[in-house]
Every structure is written in structure tokens, then in C-alpha cells.
Amino acid sequence: MKPAFILSLALLASNGSAHYIFQTLIAGSKTSKLAVRVPGENSPVKNYTSVDITCNVNISNATETVSVSAGSVVGFELGEGKRIYHPGPITMYLGKAPGKAAHWNGTGKAWFKIAEWGATFSPFGFETLNKNVFTANIPSDIPSGEYLVRMEQIALHIPGSPEFFVGCAQIKITGGGSGSPTKVSIPGYLTYQDPELLVDIYWPIPTEYTVPGPPVYRARKSPRDFFW
Ligand SMILES: *[C@@H]1O[C@H](CO)[C@@H](O)[C@H](O)[C@H]1NC(C)=O
Ligand SMILES: *[C@@H]1O[C@H](CO)[C@@H](O)[C@H](O)[C@H]1NC(C)=O
Ligand SMILES: *[C@@H]1O[C@H](CO)[C@@H](O)[C@H](O)[C@H]1NC(C)=O
Ligand SMILES: *[C@@H]1O[C@H](CO)[C@@H](O)[C@H](O)[C@H]1NC(C)=O
Ligand SMILES: [Cu+2]
């Protein structure tokens, strides 16, 4: 083998440093890096039954909690010109803090999914690939209060060994309602060895794909549902 080839193999084996991180919170018309609990390194979490999956490991203590009104946009941008390059779905969850978001580590049955980005077919692929911004609307009827917003990519490039890229940020939702989403705990939200986590995306090429985790919660009534 030529040295250049060996070198590129070595780089492939250690490409952890090249990974993406959900680094900037987008909330309404604001963006914030200080509201994000940034992981100390950008290697993926592999054990989705451990507490590492909640908000990643070795995370910074975010120093800001961003106010945003129910119904507005929330989401993340990847850092440093990065784009998603591993195939796999992306999901966004909200977790209701018992008090201040800054004082809560995400433990307990407090989470619900508010958005997901899944597969496309013919040709098979994932709509997340090459994107760097993911936003959704906060359901307009959820209770006001402090929450963690959690973004997760489940990278499926190694069949049978899903890798999780996870980020959390602190928000304070105002102007909410009395909706009561069904909540799950994280970990605990994924079925251990869910076939959608272990799928071989290369062969046979999937013809259907369900994003893992609970269904997306949608506001029961938005102002636009009222027609007289
Ligand atoms: C934690 O993250 C810092 C960077 O923020 C890094 O220097 C350190 O090595 C990390 N520690 C562990 C145990 O991963
Ligand atoms: C994954 O995490 C669970 C819960 O903490 C632990 O019991 C298990 O040993 C871990 N698995 C591996 C392979 O580290
Ligand atoms: C949060 O804290 C509780 C209590 O100290 C602990 O049992 C739990 O494992 C922690 N969760 C995370 C995600 O660190
Ligand atoms: C965050 O704060 C906790 C508790 O004060 C501390 O144990 C931890 O080391 C801090 N983490 C970082 C990355 O500074
Ligand atoms: Cu990778």
C-alpha cells in the first residue's frame, strides 16, 4: 500500500474530530451559543440506554436561558460550517424542567417529540443530509415554563451500531396553553434494539422507514383552526 493510502485510512479511523455539533440555538428571532450545553468533544454517544443519551457527555454549563413564545420557531444550527454527512434521521424533543432549566439535567418522564426528519425514497436517502439548520414550531398549546430543547441525529452508516449526535439548550416558553403531551424519559424513550435503529441502509435498500421514538406531538388547536 502507498503511504498516502495508509494515511487516509488512519484519518478515516480517527475522524471523530471532524464531526458536527448542534452548537447554536435558534429561538424566535434570537440565536444563542450561551444557552447551549456544548459537548466537550464531538464524538457520538453509542449507548442509547445510558444517561449519556440525555444531553451528551462532558457538557458545558450553559449560562443563558432564552425566552421564546409558544408557536415560534426553535431549533439548532451546526457549528463551524459543518453539515450533516452521516445518513440518518433527526428528531427534536422538548423536556419540561421542574423549575429552572439551568438546574435540570433532563432526568425523568418529561420529554416529548416536536419534530422529526426522516427518509426519502427512490432513491432512498435521508432528508437531513448536507443540511446545517433544523427548526420547527413550538406547539402553541404547551404550558409556559422552562424547558430543555434537545436535538438528536441517529447516524445509521454502520448497520447494527447507531451513533447519536445530541445537543441540548435552555429555553423559557411564554404565552403557552394547557396542552398535555404524553411524555417519555430519555433514556427509556427508544425500544432497545428497535429494528429502525439497527437497519441496514445499504442492502436490501429500505422501502419504508419509521423514525424511532414516540410520535410527534402537535398542538390540539392553533388559532388558525378556528373558522366560523
Ligand atoms: C471535556 O471537554 C473539554 C473541552 O471542553 C476537553 O478538553 C476534555 O478533554 C473533555 N474531557 C473528557 C473527559 O472528555
Ligand atoms: C449502557 O448503559 C447501561 C445503563 O447505564 C449499562 O447498564 C450498560 O452496561 C451500558 N452498555 C455498554 C455496552 O456500555
Ligand atoms: C441527573 O441527576 C440524577 C440525580 O442526581 C441522576 O440520577 C441522573 O443519572 C442524572 N442524569 C443525567 C442525564 O445526568
Ligand atoms: C458544570 O457545573 C457543575 C456543577 O457546578 C460542575 O461539576 C461541572 O464541572 C461544570 N462543567 C463544566 C464543563 O464546567
Ligand atoms: Cu462519524
- Counting from 1 in the atom list of ligand 1, the atom nearest the Cα of 41 is 2
Cβ 49 under 6 angstroms from ligand 2: yes
Distance of alpha carbon 27 from alpha carbon 120, whole angstroms: 28
Domain regions of the chain by residue span: 17-198+205-211
- Using the mean position of ligand 3's atoms as its centre, give its distance from the Cα of residue 118 in Å: 30
Q: So what's the pLDDT on residue 17? A: 58
Ligand nearest to the CA of 98: 3
Distance of alpha carbon 77 from alpha carbon 58, whole angstroms: 20
Distance of alpha carbon 74 from alpha carbon 164, whole angstroms: 20
Distance of alpha carbon 35 from alpha carbon 187, whole angstroms: 22
Q: Which residues of 54-67 are buried (b: 16+ CB within 10 A; e: fewer)?
A: bbbeebeebeebbe
- Using the mean position of ligand 3's atoms as its centre, give its distance from the Cα of residue 197 in Å: 25
- Using the mean position of ligand 2's atoms as its centre, give its distance from the Cα of residue 56 in Å: 15
Q: Is 59 helix (H, G, I), strand (E, B) or coil?
A: strand
Cβ 51 under 6 angstroms from ligand 3: yes
Sign of the C-alpha dihedral computed for residues 94, 96, 102 and 106 taken in this order:
negative
Cβ 105 under 6 angstroms from ligand 3: yes
Q: What is the CATH number of domain 17-198+205-211?
A: 2.70.50.70
Ligand nearest to the CA of 88: 5
pLDDT in tens, 57-101: 999 999 999 999 999 999 999 998 899 999 999 999 999 999 999
What's the one-letter identity of residue 77? E
Cβ 47 under 6 angstroms from ligand 1: no
The Cβ of residue 179 has, within 10 Å, a number of other Cβ atoms equal to: 17
- Using the mean position of ligand 2's atoms as its centre, give its distance from the Cα of residue 127 in Å: 31
Is this model's pTM higher than 0.85 or not? yes
pLDDT in tens, 156-170: 999 999 999 999 999
Average pLDDT, the chain: 91
Digit-by-digit pLDDT tens for the chain (228 residues) are: 444 443 444 444 444 457 999 999 999 999 999 999 999 888 999 999 999 999 999 999 999 999 999 999 999 999 988 999 999 999 999 999 999 999 999 999 999 999 999 999 999 999 999 999 999 999 999 999 999 999 999 999 999 999 999 999 999 999 999 999 999 999 999 999 999 999 999 999 999 999 999 999 999 865 555 554
Distance of alpha carbon 124 from alpha carbon 173, whole angstroms: 37
- Counting from 1 in the atom list of ligand 4, the atom nearest the Cα of 61 is 1
Cβ 161 under 6 angstroms from ligand 2: no
Instruction: Identify each DSSP E strand in 28-162 by its residue range.
Output: 30-32, 36-37, 66-69, 73-78, 90-96, 109-117, 119-120, 125-126, 133-137, 145-155
- Using the mean position of ligand 1's atoms as its centre, give its distance from the Cα of residue 90 in Å: 25
- Using the mean position of ligand 1's atoms as its centre, give its distance from the Cα of residue 39 in Å: 8
User: Residue holding cell 418529561?
Assistant: 110
